[in-house]
Structure 1
Amino acid sequence: MVLGSSTAAGGGANPRDSGWVFRLQSTINKTEQKARFINLAVEGYTLYKAMPTGYHHDDRPLPDTARNITKALSYLPDMVMINFPSNDIAANYTDEEILNNYAKLTHMLDSAKVAYIIFSTQPRDFQDSSQRTRLKIINDKIDYLYPLHANDYLNALSTPTWSIKPIYEAGDGIHINNSGHEVIVNKTLQQPLLIQLLNR
């Protein structure tokens, strides 16, 4: 299962099925291993849209019950991949609420004994340098809190000021191009929990 926003939905890739989810599934299924991917990602979504059904936080988006963690777990998945790279920061949600939302998701996954990977933040050409810095700060906190589950490729895609490296720009200052999606695929294929799952 994939929960996420535009990058997971193929945003920036041309054609869209060159996005990392599609490429990852294709790469895995070229081997003897066959994997079924269900992608619930939607452009523009933040972590709040993935919160469990019934979750409510004042002045924040309600969960999308067709594309949230509750729906994902209803499929009895082997793994959930969580990919919300920058929209929460664009919305100026605090570090505390972002990390609290990750904690809620991961608690549910741990309780259900479902493997999960948390994908890193992603560079974005924010005009406000403090927002670009927050991409690094949140990413470091995720790496610290979820060392076994993190899938960190922020540095590979970023300039020193956490903008998108020109070679990975899709042209809108938000999304990465096909080459950027390929970086995510290659990093994900090296994630120990995915390797462990595929070798079962």
Structure 2
Amino acid sequence: MRKHLLFITLIALLFNCKPDAVSPNAIAYNSGRLKAFNDKPIKFETIVILGSSTASGVGASQYKYSWAGLLRGNFFKGQVVNLAKGGYTTYHILPNNASHPGGRPSSDTLRNITAALARKPTTLIISMTTNDVASGVSIDEIMSNLNLIRAKAIAAGVRQVIITTSHPRKINASATAKYIQQRDRIMQTYGESAVNFFDPVADSEKCFKAELLSGDNLHPNDKGHEILFEQIRKALKL
């Protein structure tokens, strides 16, 4: 009888020591920065950025502190592909087959809207802030190029197209007036799809706040990039 009781006790102890079963529904899958719960299908999203130097991260102490780097660090539903490059204008990101007036840059087939659409983005961010005006491109040209790029994205099924305004750049009074005009045209044309990169970092003279500039006095520092990221974050509802 005693042996029988000991056997029952041993079986009970072994059963109680069995590891707890983990339900697959309770696991957060982080592969590819994704999360899935309760067997809901994972929706992998792709954000592609087209832009110039600020979008490429210039001015930040490290890329992860740039607005694009902060976006990548805070976007958990997929991936962020950054095709931005310093010095680029809206002409550089036109489609492969777009016509270019004499003297205007050609499309960069590795970093333009055609290349962006090849990544199958769910969201496209276009951030061409100051180089067009600085290189003599008119506001009408800027808007025409942005409209073409946006139309291509929408026709390809991109769910959301975000377009940032200019940000301040100290050149001269004429350039500042054009940056303000660029800001206003983009805000008026694209409404909720426009992101204001100008006002949050501008001082009373409509120049970039000195405390938000990096050592080159042209691009935002970490704090400046953080402010721009907050504008993007609100637009994307992150």
Aligned counterpart, 2:44: none
Shift of 1:131: 0.1
Provide the residue aligned with 1:56 in structure 2: 99
Which amino acid counterpart does residue 119 of structure 1 have in structure 2? T
CA distance in structure 2 between the partners assigned to 1:81 and 1:24 by the alignment: 11
C-alpha separation in 2, matches of 1:132 and 1:157: 14
The structure 2 residue matched to 1:123, chosen from 122, 145, 168, is 168
Deviations 1:135-194 (A, max 9, x none): 111100000000021011311101122211011011223201000100011111111xx2
Match of 1:47 in 2: 90
For residue 228 of structure 2, what is the aligned residue in structure 1? Answer: 184
4+ runs deviating over 2 angstroms: none
Secondary structure at the counterpart of residue 109 of structure 2: coil
Structure 2 counterpart of 1:12, which letter?
A: G
CA distance in 1, matches of 2:168, 2:215: 13
Q: Secondary structure at the match of 1:72?
A: helix
Match of 1:15 in 2: 62
Correspondences of 1:136-175 after superposition (within 5 Å)? 136-175=180-219
Bigger Rg, which one: 2
More off after superposition, 165-174 vs 7-16? 165-174
CA distance in 2, matches of 1:124, 1:84: 13
Q: Which has the higher contact order (CA 8 A, sep 6+)?
A: 1
- Runs (5+) with no aligned partner, structure 2: 1-47
SS in structure 2 of the partner of residue 37 of structure 1:
strand
Separation of aligned partners in 2, 1:148 and 1:85: 18
TM-score with structure 2 setting the length: 0.77
Number of residue pairs matched by the alignment:
189
2:21 maps to none
| Aligned counterpart, 1:24 | 71
Normalization by structure 1: what TM-score?
Answer: 0.91
Contact 2:64–2:73 (8 Å) recurs in 1 = no
Q: Distance in 1 between matches of 2:97 and 2:211?
A: 42
Alignment gaps of 5+ in structure 1: none
How far 1:44 sits from its partner (Å)? 0.6
In 2, are the aligned partners of 1:135 and 1:162 still within 8 Å (CA)?
A: no
Stretch of structure 1 that moved more, 62-71 or 104-113: 104-113
Q: Following TM superposition, by how much is the alpha carbon of 1:83 offset from its aligned partner in structure 2, in angstroms?
A: 0.7
